Amino acid sequence: MFKAVSGKEKLSVQVAKELEKSILDKRFLPDQPIPSEARLCESFKVSRTVVREAIQQLKSQGIIHSIPGSGNYISRNDTSNLQRSLSLLASLNLDTPLYSEIIQLRELLEVDCIKTVCQTSNEDLVQTLESHVENMRTKFDSLEEFGRIDHAFHLSIIKASGNNLFYTILESLYHAFVEISMKVYDSQEMLETLCNEHAAITEAIKNQDADLASRLLLKHIHLSKVNI
């Protein structure tokens, strides 16, 4: 089933890579059990410790999971691992050039989403966005709450676009965005400006003006970039 592993790289890493490759090649399918530890030891010509380390690596990546008393199974596709990884990436890089790149990613994805929602009339979305703006105006004394409502505004647009992958990616980044927001939103004047920008974006969406909505969105996000 598998070839013996050898070489300079740690054996458990090699075994983990081979198992992952076999999963990507669809030799094992979601919910299917992987071979027992004994069989893997025999196939790879390695110790049980090596196999257990390899399995633990794949578990930490969410590729396989254990069922007590039954064994190890291939996990189904799950965006939760992607969310955790991106959230950690953003949170650990708030003060590095990488964070600016993360904001660039946000610009690309959100512009695509806002163009999509402008293609059709969406009264429910407009009402939701208007409600967010009203709530933001009442939270000038709580920057954290203001930031959460701010980003709920953006997530509402992304969700309405119907692109679940974009939503997963951006939702995972917003915890870090709230943290940076509390550093950027440094005056009541700025908070008022942000509310007005959100209101203008909402009006453009209401009028299905994709070009204007996109320009306003990019200007709005740029404010965070220049203040990092």
Q: What is the mean pLDDT of residues 110-118?
A: 96
The helix (H) or strand (E) run that includes residue 19 is helix 11-24
- Does 63 share its domain with 122? no
**pLDDT surpassing 70 at residue 187:** yes
Same domain, 69 and 169: no
Query: Distance (Å, rounded) from C-alpha 61 to C-alpha 82?
Result: 9
| Number of domains the chain contains | 2
> In this structure, what CATH number is given to the domain that contains residue 43?
1.10.10.10
Beta-strand pair 64-67/71-74: antiparallel
Q: Is the pLDDT of residue 198 over 60?
A: yes
Give domain status of residue 208, yes or no: yes
**Same-domain status, 37 and 105:** no
Q: Is the C-alpha dihedral spanning 84, 86, 90, 93 positive or negative?
A: positive
Query: What is the rounded CA–CA span in Å between residue 33 and residue 28?
Result: 8
Q: Check whether residue 65 and residue 117 sit in a common domain.
A: no
Q: How confident is the model at residue 228 (pLDDT cuts 50, 70, 90)?
A: low
The domain of 17 spans 11-74
68, 131: one domain: no
Domain annotation covers residue 6: no
User: What is the average pLDDT across 204-212?
Assistant: 97
Q: Are residues 203 and 91 in the same domain?
A: yes
Residue 91: closest CA among 83, 167, 158: 83
Residue 208: alpha-carbon gap to chain centroid: 27
Tell which of 74, 107, 127 closes a domain: 74
What pLDDT score was predicted for residue 104?
A: 84
Which residues sit opposite 33 in a β-bridge? 73
Q: Per-residue pLDDT for 169 more than 70?
A: yes
Percent of the chain at pLDDT > 90 equals 46
In a domain, 50, yes or no: yes
Rounded to an integer, the average pLDDT of 68-94 is: 72
- The answer to whether residue 66 sits within a structural domain is yes
Are residue 113 and residue 217 in the same domain, yes or no? yes
Domain-embedded: residue 161: yes
Residue of higher predicted confidence among 6 and 38: 38
Write out the two tokens for 114: 């806002």
Q: What would the DSSP string read from start to end of 93-104?
A: TTTSHHHHHHHH
If one compares 95 and 164, the residue with the highest pLDDT of the two is 164
* Mean pLDDT, residues 138-149 taken together: 88
Residues 126 and 174 in one domain: yes
Domain boundary residue, one of 74, 96, 120: 74
Spatial contact of 52 and 46, defined as CB atoms under 8 Å apart: no
**196 falls within a domain:** yes
70 and 177 housed in the same domain: no
Is 2 inside any structural domain? no
The conformational region for residue 69 under phi > 0 = left, psi -120 to 50 = alpha, else beta, is: left
pTM of the model: 0.66
Which of 71-80, 121-130, 132-141 is the least confident region? 71-80
Q: What share of the chain is helix, strand, coil (3-state, %, to 5)?
A: 70, 5, 25
Do 215 and 156 belong together in one domain? yes
pLDDT band at 126 (very low <50, low <70, confident <90, very high): very high
Q: Is residue 206 located within the same domain as residue 107?
A: yes
In a domain, 64, yes or no: yes
Q: Are residues 203 and 139 part of one domain?
A: yes
pLDDT tens-place string over residues 170-184? 888 777 777 766 666
3-state secondary structure of 173: helix
